A and B are shown apart, each in its own frame.
Chain A
Amino acid sequence: MSRVFVPKDSGARSVGADAVAAAFAALGAEVVRTGSRGLYWLEPMAEVETAAGRIAYGPMAPGDAAAALADRSDKRIGLLAAFPPFARQTRMLFARVGLIDPLDYRAYQAAGGGVGLAAARAMTPDAVIAAIKASGLRGRGGAGFPTGIKWQTVSQAEGARKYVVCNADEGDSGTFADRMLMEGDPFLLLEGMAIAGHAVGADKGYIYLRSEYPDAEATLEAAIAAAPFLDAAFSVELRVGAGAYICGEETALLESLEGKRGMSRAKPPLPAISGFMAAPTVVNNVLTLAAAPAILAAGAAAHAALGSGRSLGTMPFQLSGNVRYPGLYEAPFGLSLRTLVEDWGGGTASGRPLRAVQVGGPLGAYFPAALLDTPLDYEAFAAAGGMLGHGGVVVFDDTVDLARQARFALAFCAHESCGKCTPCRIGAQRGVEVVDKIIAGEDRPRQRAVLDDLLEVMRDGSLCALGGLTPVPVQSALDWFPEDFEREAGS
């Protein structure tokens, strides 16, 4: 009887993976549901186990199952190890995703899981922190803060109780790496949290998950119940949000976790000093925590050997929008945006010229084609007036209107503002009105002056980065695509 691997990833399911799995089962195959390999244009994908390895097919329809089992399908992709879109990646974080049943702990161990935690628990907390520092690991949630320094701060802070909080709010449009990892390899995240707990002296961890991810919720619940390394010495609780982008901002997240409105706190104090319930708290992104096990298992030097400049290790870049080959591509930092978008992504899906690329979510800059040679690393993006954020890259063709995208950025901020400070709460709403006037061709020079002023106030006067960074996409649209703000009204 053949063994067939079909993703249970919510993305794969959204295009029919359940029906494909059922078709294989009906033909007598043993079906193992896995995470997704991230080659989404080929989903639903199926891999049939053979003596030569797993032969991939996709995109599959239920009617293709019989031909795949007989290896005479025109959907044949072959071994992924020999398929360039997969083979040229450097899979570190996502090494296991798509290979195993995410909730099969034995399979997790057989594929190298658990080694990092065992190594960490045999070390002193200070030695673990030293290893994380030496690896050069920086937070994957957006700001790129050095993780070892954060853990050290929590470790050294006074507090009867300390906490590890995983930020699984993943609100940025164009990002889905956290979701794929939680659905596809949840034990890895839990192992990383346990390592953090050991390092900082915390006995409790929380995962704050956005409510838009019901499949990840079910998988995490099951993984928490099944993980043999979670016990009274370190336990994890899952907390589900209720639809608020701002709750991805770490202090708003902590307020929400405390059962309050998700309103950002003034910093200082940093969460590392006074976080959840005023206790020293590590707040890290899913991918940051998931990077820890490999660093402890394979050594800090192996992590630090990859990447460029001060951006070390790999990043799972997420490519979407109007692009031919959308998906998750893990590679060392430093890959050029052009390589990702044109070579790996195949350019626009529409076949029309590429006009803009938004990198780093709704608070990230819109780059024109002229900036495609920017390397994907934190410093290079900052120098070009953008930010890498959580690694999302959204492609737009020449039908995009950047004045409308600028309006959307402001409207999104107005919609998601927590309301605590005026520049953001009022400024974003005023910004929408002003851009509307510019689009309508009303008194443009004056409105433009008002907009410039408004963006400056938001940038410099906002309490947190929602208001502070919303000017970034707007400014980039104004700087790189001024013609979109000068069009004849109504055209």
Chain B
Amino acid sequence: MSIENDIRQIAVAHQAADGALLPMLVAVNRALGYVPAEADAVLADLLNITKADVAGMVSFYSDFRRAPPGQRRVAVCRAEACQAAGGDALAAEIEAATGCAMGATAADGSVTLDAAYCFGNCALAPAVMVDGALIGRATPARFVEAFGKAGAP
């Protein structure tokens, strides 16, 4: 199976939708973890649009990435309510604990650390997401516990 075939199979389920390009890209990004460059031609062909139309979407939305993410995914809320509840210090601690800078993937591909802007968990601030699981009232210790637990082989 080529990656083009995989992408086509994921995307074709959304072909009937009005405004299908967004749900197609969301589906590809979720299934593969990123939107490979090969997707541009496949989706352009399915929707009879240009590759530039697809590439423009990928660059606009921050969820879409062009390279595979790290094996672990951490997102730290950097918005105001979390700032007011100690989020800045927590973000620095998490950068130190993961050895990864905000917005980067570790060189060994072990983890990607992203800034997020509100998980709607402001009343339990600060909030962090580890591999899709939300952590409220986050502290460095609670983060390390969740990061260690979920990542244990």
Contact = CB atoms under 8 A, between A and B. Distances in A.
Given A244-B60, A260-B19, A408 B123 contact: no
B43 to A, nearest CB: 10
B36 interface: no
A293 to B, nearest CB: 23
Interface in B82-96: 82-85
A14 B120 CA distance: 11
28 contacts: A10-B134, A11-B123, A14-B133, A15-B124, A40-B124, A173-B79, A173-B80, A175-B120, A175-B122, A178-B120, A213-B120, A214-B132, A242-B61, A243-B61, A243-B64, A259-B18, A259-B23, A260-B19, A318-B123, A320-B81, A320-B122, A321-B81, A321-B84, A326-B125, A394-B84, A400-B84, A408-B80, A412-B117
Contact of B80 (A240, A321, A349): A321
Contact of A170 (B120, B123, B135): B120
Contacts of A308: none
Given A170-B120, A257-B19, A358-B80, A320 B61 contact: no
Nearest to B116: A212
Q: Is the interface of A mostly helix, strand, loop or mixed?
A: mixed
Given A261-B56, A362-B80, A320 B123 contact: yes
A310 B34 CA distance: 48
B121 to A, nearest CB: 5
A259 B44 CA distance: 12
Nearest to A322: B84
Nearest to A204: B18
B127 interface: yes
Q: Which of A173, A244, A318 has the most CB of B within 10 A?
A: A173
Contact of A320 (B17, B117, B125, B135): B125
Contact of B122 (A41, A239, A262, A394): A394
B121 A172 contact: no
A211 B57 contact: no
A473 to B, nearest CB: 9
Contact of B20 (A13, A259, A358): A259
A176 B19 contact: no
Contact of B79 (A41, A349, A362): A362
A243 B80 CA distance: 17
Contacts of B25: 242
A327 B125 CA distance: 11
A213 B129 CA distance: 11
Contacts of B132: 214
A258 interface: yes
B147 interface: no
A173 B83 CA distance: 10
Contacts of A327: 123
A245 interface: yes
Contacts of A237: 17
Interface in A390-435: 392, 394-397, 400, 405, 408, 412, 416, 418
Given A172-B118, A243-B63, A320-B122, A259 B84 contact: no
B21 interface: yes
B101 interface: no
Interface of A: 10-11, 13-15, 38, 40-41, 43, 170-176, 178-180, 211-214, 237, 239-245, 256-262, 276-277, 318-322, 326-328, 349, 358, 362, 392, 394-397, 400, 405, 408, 412, 416, 418
Contacts of A326: 122-125
Given A242-B22, A259-B21, A15 B81 contact: no
Contacts of B23: 239-240, 259
A176 B61 contact: no
Interface in B64-89: 64, 79-85
Contacts of A243: 61-64
Given A10-B120, A175-B118, 9 more contacts: A14-B136, A43-B136, A174-B80, A214-B132, A242-B25, A256-B22, A259-B20, A259-B23, A259-B47
B22 A259 contact: yes
A314 B63 CA distance: 35
A182 to B, nearest CB: 10
Interface in B1-59: 17-23, 25-26, 29, 47, 56-57
- Name the 4 nearest CB pairs between A and B, nearest first: A321-B84, A173-B79, A259-B19, A14-B136
Contacts of B26: 211, 240, 242
Contacts of A396: 84
Given A15-B136, A240-B26, A261-B56, A10 B83 contact: no
B91 to A, nearest CB: 13
B25 to A, nearest CB: 7
A328 B123 contact: yes
